[in-house]
Amino acid sequence: MITRQAILFATCLSFLAGLSSCAPSVEITSTQAPTPTVVAGVPSPTSPPAAPTPLICLTEPGSLQQGVVATTNPPQEFIIYLPPCYKNFANARYPTLYLLHGQTYFQDQWARLRAPEVADQLIHVGEAPPFIMVFPDDRYWNTPAGSGFGMRFINDLIPYVDANYRTVADREHRSLGGLSRGGGWVAQLGFAHPELFGALGFHSPAIFKDNSPYLGRIIQAIPNEMRPQVWLDIGDADQELGHGVLFEEILRNNDYIHEFHRFSGDHSELYWGAHVNQYLRWYTQFWRNNSVKP
């Protein structure tokens, strides 16, 4: 029977192809094997090949850490999820998923929605490669500092994460998603910076009618080969459903290839929590066959 450890170990080996970090460094020494005694009529015994010892961390959960970019005003706080075995594979670099929370909530919202636990499950069974998640804080939404979140995120947080954690710092290995107000930020930042993100996720996004001309123009300005992948979902009882449908029409009218899902539910954590598994599967599918840079 193939164990969960074996599946994850094989996934890690495939995902980190070309890197020596997918197994701990071992110094190999050569010794002279003893000459077996051969007795006529009796076959020489042979030893079965030794099975590799799996790393314990391959079945353990990833870790959550608090972080802050102290040079911004206000300081930009965040929570970061590091995948299983992050400390063990010292030369490995990982794709990064940034997930933005909703209005009135804090940086821990995606953690409370069990995004880290779902990531662990997908990685453990080999359905997703190991990846990093970053949950930025946008608590100042109702203060003058709130409007500056986008600049802090683009100009400070992303460079800080790339400099201090082992990310693969290109658009193909960086994705952005958000729910509610966070989804509104994804529309503003993701379409304005297609050079930074390979995929954008909109989960019950707060995108209003006044943004329609802006979104249409900015989408038209993105070259087809630079258009990020797009996922859009919203509940059938969501008070933002009309705006979500309008946003989907903007995508269709601009021939923007995308996924649109109208699920059962409203604008609540109960709805988002029920779909976190689907969200993470969608984001990570683009990294399954990508090679990781040393």
Mind listing the pLDDT tens digit for each residue in 60-99?
999 999 999 999 999 999 999 999 999 999 999 999 999 9
Within the chain, how many helices (H) and strands (E) appear? 9, 8
Query: Would you place residue 131 in the very low, low, confident or very high pLDDT band (cuts 50, 70, 90)?
Result: very high
In the numeric block, which tokens belong to residue 289? 């066959």
pLDDT in the model for residue 144: 78
Residues 136 and 68: their CA atoms lie apart, in Å, by 9
pLDDT in the model for residue 16: 44
- For the domain made up of 58-287, give the CATH fold: Rossmann fold (3.40.50)
Tell me the domain boundaries of the chain. 58-287
Residues 9 and 22: their CA atoms lie apart, in Å, by 8
Comparing 14-28, 179-193, 206-220, the range with the smallest average pLDDT is 14-28
Question: Is pTM beyond 0.85 here?
Answer: no
Query: Would you place residue 214 in the very low, low, confident or very high pLDDT band (cuts 50, 70, 90)?
Result: confident
DSSP 83-142: -TTTTT-TT--B-EEEEE--TT--TTHHHHTTHHHHHHHHHHTTSS---EEEEE--TTTT
Identify each DSSP E strand in the chain by its residue range: 63-69, 76-82, 96-100, 132-136, 174-179, 199-203, 229-235, 259-263
pLDDT in the model for residue 182: 95
* Listed ranges 44-48, 139-143, 205-209; the one with the highest mean pLDDT: 139-143
Q: What is the pLDDT of residues 4-56, one digit of tens each?
A: 444 454 444 444 444 333 333 333 333 344 444 333 333 444 555 555 556 88
Query: What residues contact residue 265 under an 8 Å CB cut-off, 6+ apart?
Result: 235, 236, 237, 238, 271, 274
SS3 for 280? helix
pLDDT in the model for residue 194: 97
